[in-house]
Structure 1
Amino acid sequence: MFSSLITSRIVATLSALLVILVGCGAGIWQLNRAEQKIRLGESLSAKLQMPVLNVNADNLTLEQASERRILARGRFVQDEVVWLDNRPRPIPEGGSGASGQSGFYVMMPLKLEGQEAVLWVNRGWAPRNNQNRIELPPVKTADEIVTIEGVAFPHPGRVYELGQKGDPKARPRIEQNFDLALEAQSHEWKQLPFIVRESGSSKEDGLVRNWPSPTNGVDRHYAYAFQWFALALAGFLFWLINGLMKYRRELAVNGDRV
């Protein structure tokens, strides 16, 4: 039987082994991604229960501010807005809407009141004009001192980027990703070491801020894991059944009873 299943079927055995390894590896990766999202969601939920930090009053580091609620007061520097492209419309957990719709995250620096420092703010999501990709959506920005509240993060999220970054002096600035260090270098100003994702969807500024929970998509990861493990099992069963059938045929040819 060993010869029928393995020795005489080296190519089939190696192919089945490859399918099993790929399926199990991808399934385990999907389970790990689900676990990471669950841990991130638990960490964020715990930190959101902590007191709000005021960047105008405190000199905060990234470690102190990360995933904490932030209060900031200042004036937006409208001429330095960065439009982060290829961002899906944020849909909260249990919400509905055009989740596949692509658009921009609107990154805008906030000159803090009473300080020389700048805080970069992810003001929200705006839709993209698919017919004219150069045309930017209308966004209202108050030309006065405002108070915003949001949650601090190291960056606004990253997407796969091809080619070089755009010219920081070009207008409008449409980028794939956002780098705090590069912004500080190009502007030569003092800025806080984190960005704030603005909260509050009630503002009439044309932006969407229905930010989803970090645990969104956990069920999808479990579903993908099941599919990959099922593929690995199917590969093993296909190899085993075909091997057993070959073994039975050999027994019949040799005149042995099956």
Structure 2
Amino acid sequence: MNIFSSLITSRMVATLSALVVIGIGCSAGIWQLNRAEQKIRLGESLAIKLAMPILNANTTDLSLELATERRITVRGRFLVEEAVWLENRPRPIPEGIANSAQAGFYLMMPLLLEDQKKVLWINRGWAPRNNLNRVELPPISTPESAVVIDGVGFSHPGKVYELGQQAEVMSKPRIEQNFDLSKETKLHSWNQLPFIVRESSSNKSDGLVRNWPLPTNGVDRHYAYAFQWFALALSGFLFWLITGFLKYRRERVVNGDRV
């Protein structure tokens, strides 16, 4: 039996523990690398689609497939009373700027398209929350007249983890964890476009932040996390190997064998 086989068979508990640490470290490291690769692919896809001609939601019958990640312009009036505030959303931080981890709301507001009986949900941007009073909403301004919104189409405004299913209530203001287009269709029974538009204009003085980060934001962080997980796996293997080798040497010395 060689030394490596001896280290395994004579220390089964230590070997199994090391395998667990190595397995967790490698799996988590690979997952982080995959997440980085996904963000890179999303960034490339978004860059290609953003270079395409702008779509007009007032004049073109847009499907979810056609509108996703495309630049869209639309004209209409906001239905202020039907707004939905999505809580527990981090402040949008552009790439290269330190994240302040400030929590707040995304303001989802339906827009009634001009000269049409169609509704398009707009993610108007982010606003800070009152940490002392959850239902006290931040002050924002909304034009009463028709507005032109420029943005990018998405299937949803992003999701956060929530426990259980929320009851379908219409209490005002509506503060929710996540946004579901199909749910809004059932609640309002209106003709609704099958996507949302994330507003892009960042120079409006309406109290909302729209410095949306790129999909590739955080790729370096994923690589750093992957390195840490792989380092953990390597450390687990080296600890098992070194302690086993030292134990093997001690046993050889006790038995009078030369090492």
TM-score over 0.5 (shorter chain)? yes
Q: 1:50-199 maps to which residues of 2 (within 5 A)?
A: 50-96=52-98, 99-199=100-200
- Counterpart CA distance in 1 for 2:219 and 2:182 is 32
Query: Is 1:232 aligned to residue 233 of structure 2?
Result: yes
Q: Which residue of 1 aligns with 2:220?
A: 219
Deviates more, 1:160-169 or 1:85-94: 160-169
Separation in 1 of the partners of 2:112 and 2:252?
84
Equivalent-residue separation in structure 1 for 2:51 and 2:27 (angstroms): 37
- Offset of residue 202 of structure 1: 0.6
237 and 67 in structure 1: CA distance in 2 versus 1, 3 angstrom threshold: same
Distance 1:31 1:3 in 2: 33
Q: How many residues align?
A: 257
With over 3 angstroms needed to count, the CA separation of the structure-2 counterparts of 1:168 and 1:110, relative to structure 1, is: farther
Conserved 8 A contact 1:168-1:186: no
Secondary structure of 1:6 counterpart:
helix
Instruction: Tell me if the contact between 1:166 and 1:175 (Cα under 8 Å) persists in the aligned partners.
Output: no
Question: Which stretches in structure 1 are left out of the alignment for 5+ residues?
Answer: none
Render the CA deviation track for 1:132-165: whole Å, top value 9, x for unaligned: 1111001100001100100000000000011332
Long gaps (5+) in structure 2 = none
What is the TM-score when the length of structure 1 is the normalising length?
A: 0.97
Task: State the Cα RMSD in Å.
Answer: 1.0
Percent identity at matched positions? 72
How far the C-alpha of 1:2 sits from its partner, in A, is 4.4
**Contact kept? 1:37, 1:215, Cα under 8 Å:** yes
Distance 2:155 2:170 in 1: 24
- 1:47-93: per-residue Cα shift (whole Å, max 9, x none)? 11110000000000000010000000000000000000000000111
Q: Give deviations 1:203-227, integer Å, cap 9, x for gaps.
A: 0100000000000010000000000
CA distance in structure 1 between the partners assigned to 2:113 and 2:5 by the alignment: 76
1:195 alignment partner, SS class: strand
Aligned to 1:253: 254
Q: What SS does the aligned partner of 2:109 have? A: strand
* Distance in 1 separating the partners of 2:19 and 2:142: 59
Runs of 4+ in 1 over 6 A off after TM superposition: none
